[in-house]
Amino acid sequence: MTAEIINGKEIAAKKRQEIGKEVEKLKEKGVVPGLAVILVGNNDASRTYVRNKQKACQELGMHSVLIEMPEEVSEEELLAKIDELNHASEIHGILVQLPIPKHIDEKKVIESISPSKDVDGFHPVNIGRMMTGQNAFLPCTPYGIMVLLEETGISPAGKHVVVVGRSNIVGKPVGQLMLNHNATVTYCHSKTKDLKQYTKQADIVVSAVGIANFIKADHIKEGAVVIDVGMNRNEAGKLCGDVDFEEVKEKAGYITPVPKGVGPMTITMLMYNTVKSAAESINR
Ligand code: L34
């Protein structure tokens, strides 16, 4: 079987058109959705992702501010900046691009963002709301994966989803969203013994481990859906996912490429959440 390639860039473009219409409606009501991104230090990959986020804001006619802070910035200074943004009426979404330097407590930073502006969906309040099925900002990468599946006509209901990776940003929440959509979910991670035994049973595999060419054809059941969340660089410095694409695409039913797979959807759902926050700010 040769897999159908899920074109994340194309689906993202379609979704962004819909979001653009919402932006126009809000502008008619006098509200311009605004996103503030804080970038700490000098990580080239982070810089690229943040640039893509700003570009998306511009294309949708949204307000965006980038706050750059040096690697040595103190935790107090970062928290003070977040507090300022929590109170800024023209800002509806606040995002601190991860990773941040080790001397700053990441959990403390995330908890300092107002849940009503936490467009990343990383605040424990939003995570709890997601888990209990209440109105919440859903984390952008997991949400983007759900939309990719929906747009491709794949329902997780009744399917066995195997998530490889258990980060707070991707692995844990994507399993939760799949569960909310009636999938049967198995979580695997670096301590899992005999990973293949699990992944081979999966109707849908979501890989978020951060190791290039980690998932091979013999991990995958014939015809399975393979979602690659990896953003790795190979020996040649080329961007690649967790999945050995050339090999796995001959066996899978559907596969997402890297780039132009999950990445553009992450940014799209960030735009969606920011517009949602702006709309909700009207009634507060
Ligand atoms: N706070 N930190 C916070 N929120 C996030 O949602 C993120 N993430 C992850 C890293 N840190 C974060 C992102 O934004 C990963 N991520 C992200 C976003 C966009 C892209 C990749 C990762 C992206 O634009 N990918 C392009 C290719 C980019 C390139 O050429 O390097 C793609 O087509 O996949």
Question: Can 30-115 and 139-263 be said to share one CATH topology?
Answer: yes
Q: Please give the pLDDT value at position 234.
A: 86
Determine whether 105 is an active site residue: no
Identify which of 162, 120, 150, 151 has the alpha carbon closest to the alpha carbon of residue 138. Answer: 120
Q: Tell me the mean pLDDT in the region 116-136.
A: 97
Q: Please give the pLDDT value at position 235.
A: 85
CA dist., res. 59 & res. 16, Å (int): 9
- Delimit the domains of the chain by residue range: 30-115, 139-263
Helix boundaries (H) for the chain: 8-28, 44-59, 75-86, 106-112, 124-131, 140-152, 171-180, 195-199, 245-248, 262-282
Q: Please give the pLDDT value at position 284.
A: 79
Determine whether 97 is an active site residue: yes
Largest CA distance in the chain: 56
pLDDT, tens digit (0-9, with 9 covering 90-100), for 66-83: 999 999 999 999 999 999
Rounded to the nearest 5 percent, the helix, strand and coil shares of the chain are 45, 15, 40
Q: Please give the pLDDT value at position 195.
A: 98
Return the CATH fold of 30-115.
Rossmann fold (3.40.50)
Determine whether 120 is an active site residue: yes
Residues with CB under 6 A from ligand 1: 48-49, 52, 95-98, 120, 140-141, 231, 239, 258-260, 263-264, 266-267
CA dist., res. 227 & res. 190, Å (int): 18
Nearest CA to ligand 1 atom 25: 263
Q: Is domain 139-263 classified as CATH 3.40.50.300?
A: no
Among residues 15, 97, 118, 276, which one is catalytic? 97
pLDDT, tens digit (0-9, with 9 covering 90-100), for 205-235: 999 999 999 999 999 999 999 999 999 998 8
pLDDT, tens digit (0-9, with 9 covering 90-100), for 17-60: 999 999 999 999 999 999 999 999 999 999 999 999 999 999 99
- Please, are residues 225 and 149 in contact by the beta-carbon 8 Å criterion? yes
Closest ligand 1 atom to 9 CA:
33
